[in-house]
Structure 1
């Protein structure tokens, strides 16, 4: 079984490419950054975890990875790394198939995807299947989700006070 952890990461502003600074949570699998394994430092991609300023969208991403909520993509794949500027599938994203089993979650068939063209054989990324212990995986993802739920509650409370 693989082990999944999250660490906060920031991509620095790049004025040459008109790219703003971007915070997100990197996925650490078995002690190694998936961002570093999948994404070139010059790329315009960021992890979909913690990417959005809206806590509701961040919660939705977690729920997709937990298979609580259906993917927004027709292919039913889940966006792992998205455009660092807008998070839109149309700019291109690295997606993954997630399968929920009785005691585990499996990530397989990583691919480059844009949401409007069929994924072709050469779009698939040569990367091993990952399998996570269900209890540990859900605990890690629910910790992220809890933080965003708390953030959402704090924002609502501030709005009520205004």
Structure 2
């Protein structure tokens, strides 16, 4: 087979965006390594699928290494007929919730991924449940193995060191009640969160574990500068966020966006703006998008509402907004399976 018939194989950081939804449901945040085939995330070819790869950062290190060795064909497949899990449920990873599986095999100097299917039991009806428009993909075995081997501990090291850092956020502010609710919501969706008045007393080893810092509305510019200086002295470069509003779902979405490790060019949700009673949404690939509107009334009660849900094609879209859901100071959250964006409904 000619070289032109080969696909390139890569890995890229990705996240399944968690969140606090209007009905009180919490969706877990999951960081994982996604498979990139010919420069495009494989997950994007499986339209409207809420799933993560087995290479997630929050599973025990030994299990993570086992998943890598399976993909390297150095460990037995977990399913009959030489089938391997490519994507699974982000909440429990149980097969009964459904998983994308594929046959992975070596043919000479090639690695072949073929016969992608949706599977909920150990038996499979491929004619009914197969992804007949996806694959097969033929990879150069040397390039494929070299990419996966980057995830393994150095030779001679134990398989018990975490492959990826846990995602954590430091909340800086004086409105402890709001920050406490925010920290509780973030922990519920699998994001570590701590509250502090400043960063002066945070040890450098701990400072380096934070991927983001969120400033409350009452923090002055000189206080923000002091926090940035403390992180700089520790050699850390987190994302810095100014909280949009004292609305927990909106702040959660801001943190989710800041913690998204997916390279910008591989994100599905590209842009979100709102003005004059409509939202502008741009997506990079076909995906289901949900728009939530949040506002706070004069009694400081939070009101949230789903104002749009639909499958959008690549490109820009204009969506009319319900005036009742966006009257007064209000905020929009756009969600798709791997991305989240926030914006005020007016400047």
Q: Any runs of at least 4 consecutive aligned residues in structure 1 with deviations exceeding 6 A, and if so which?
A: none
Whichever of the two has the greater Rg, that structure is: 2
CA displacement at 1:88 relative to structure 2 = 1.5
User: Closer, same or farther in 2 for the Cα pair 1:108/1:120, shift >3 Å?
Assistant: closer
Residue 55 of structure 1 corresponds to 61
State TM-score, norm by structure 2: 0.41
CA displacement at 1:62 relative to structure 2 = 1.2
1:47 match: secondary structure: coil
Q: Number of aligned pairs?
A: 152
Residue 148 of structure 2 corresponds to 141
Q: Could you report, residue by residue, the CA deviation over 1:71-92 in whole angstroms, capped at 9, with x for unpaired residues? A: 1223431000000012121210
* Residues in 2 aligned to 1:37 and 1:84: alpha-carbon distance in whole angstroms: 18
Which moved further from structure 2: 44-53 or 83-92?
44-53
Which of the pair is proportionally richer in strand?
A: 2
Tell which has more relative contact order, 1 or 2 (C-alpha 8 A, sep 6+).
1
CA RMSD of aligned residues (A): 2.1
User: Closer, same or farther in 2 for the Cα pair 1:7/1:151, shift >3 Å?
Assistant: farther
Partners of 2:153 and 2:159 within 8 A in 1: no
User: Closer, same or farther in 2 for the Cα pair 1:55/1:69, shift >3 Å?
Assistant: same
CA displacement at 1:51 relative to structure 2 = 5.2
Which of the pair is proportionally richer in helix?
A: 1
Asked if residue 13 in structure 1 is aligned to residue 21 in structure 2, the reply is no
State TM-score, norm by structure 1: 0.83
* Residues in 1 aligned to 2:122 and 2:104: alpha-carbon distance in whole angstroms: 20
CA displacement at 1:29 relative to structure 2 = 0.7
Q: Could you report, residue by residue, the CA deviation over 1:36-77 in whole angstroms, capped at 9, with x for unpaired residues? A: 11142xx43111223552111111111111111111223431
Q: Which runs of 5+ in 2 are unaligned?
A: 1-5, 163-347
Partners of 1:95 and 1:112 within 8 A in 2: yes
Q: Find 1:82's aligned residue among 88, 98, 102.
A: 88
Q: Could you report, residue by residue, the CA deviation over 1:6-28 in whole angstroms, capped at 9, with x for unpaired residues? A: 11111211333531111001111
Q: Which runs of 5+ in 1 are unaligned?
A: 156-162
